[in-house]
Amino acid sequence: MVLVVDVGNTNATFGVYDGKELVTTFRLMSKTPRTSDEYGVLITEMLNKNQIAIKSITGVIVASVVPNIMHSLTGGIRRYVNEKILTVGAGVKTGIKIVTENPKEIGCDRVVDAVAAYELYGGPVLVIDYGTATTYDLVTADGCFAAGITAPGIRISAKALWDGTAKLPEIEIKKPASILAQETISSMQAGLVYGQIGQTEYIIQRVKKETGYDNLKVVATGGLGRIIAEETDMIQEYNSSLTLEGLRIIYEKNNK
């Protein structure tokens, strides 16, 4: 079995694959400072609770956008789980070519999502990740990471509303019954959700116009991506495990 780890700005998501089957997933907060021993104990406890024997983990792959936790995280994994850790970065085989002006600027999480979308759905494909930021990444028909668009995520936008105003409350992010809101909470929900839908549809249209890709596939992922994907027919696929799938695919490419 392979342990895949996606370290984001808010959470670290762990998945265990038995071949191509995702057996289990769990999360730990990535903002909380921890020692390597703390990470090791927490990870082994979660594996045990999900009935995954530590000895069955034959390899580990990690992609991280939070460099300052990598020393303690990988140290904990090496000591408590498995010493064989592949870290996504320069020199790792991905199967796609980054042709942007500065490839080193592209976050490894975006590369992993692009790999998964291209391998699973083919190209050209636009990958939308509704995470801390909302990102739109274009992979061409021949597997080149050609362009990326970055916008504030839904939660960042929501936090800006209630942190930057005196009277607007913290709210649950969900689609209201109608865009014609008549009170504060549904008014905020309407602006956040329908605003994100509008942004999504405009960016997809603009990408199609500038690339000429009328056959562009659009794949979404990320915690709040399902809400948006269900409200527009311009997104063809929603895959909540896209990043984990990408990590599995990259691990296989590097361990044939």
Tens of pLDDT along 90-137? 889 999 999 988 888 888 999 999 999 999 999 999 999 998 899 999
Please identify which of the residues 6, 18, 109, 233 carries the catalytic annotation. 109
Would you call 142 a catalytic residue per the annotation?
no
Q: Which CATH architecture has domain 2-87?
A: 2-Layer Sandwich (3.30)
Is there a common fold for 2-87 and 97-240? yes
CATH architecture of 97-240: 2-Layer Sandwich (3.30)
Amino acid at 76: G
* Every domain of the chain and the residues it spans: 2-87, 97-240
**What is the rounded distance in angstroms from the CA atom of residue 74 to the CA atom of residue 40?**
9
Average pLDDT in the chain: 94
- The pLDDT confidence band at residue 152, using thresholds 50, 70 and 90, is very high
CA distance 179 to 207: 26
CA angle 86, 87, 93 (to 5 degrees): 75
The answer to whether 157 touches 132, Cβ cutoff 8 Å, is no
Residues 157, 139: Cα–Cα separation, whole Å: 27
Q: CA–CA separation, 159 vs 170, rounded Å?
A: 8
Q: Cis peptide before 103, with omega less than 30 degrees from 0?
A: no
Cα separation, 86 vs 72, whole angstroms: 15
pLDDT of residue 49: 96
- At position 23, the amino acid (one-letter code) is V
Rounded Cα distance between 116 and 95, Å, is 10
Please count the other Cβ atoms lying within 10 Å of the Cβ belonging to residue 57: 19
- 96-118 burial, b if ≥16 CB within 10 A, otherwise e? bebeeeeeeeebbbbbbbbbbbb
| d(C-alpha 207, C-alpha 135), whole Å | 13
Report pTM.
0.91
199-252: pLDDT as tens digits: 999 999 999 999 999 999 999 999 889 999 999 999 999 999 999 999 999 999
pLDDT digit string (tens) for 17-71?
A: 999 999 999 999 998 889 999 999 999 999 999 999 999 999 999 999 999 999 9
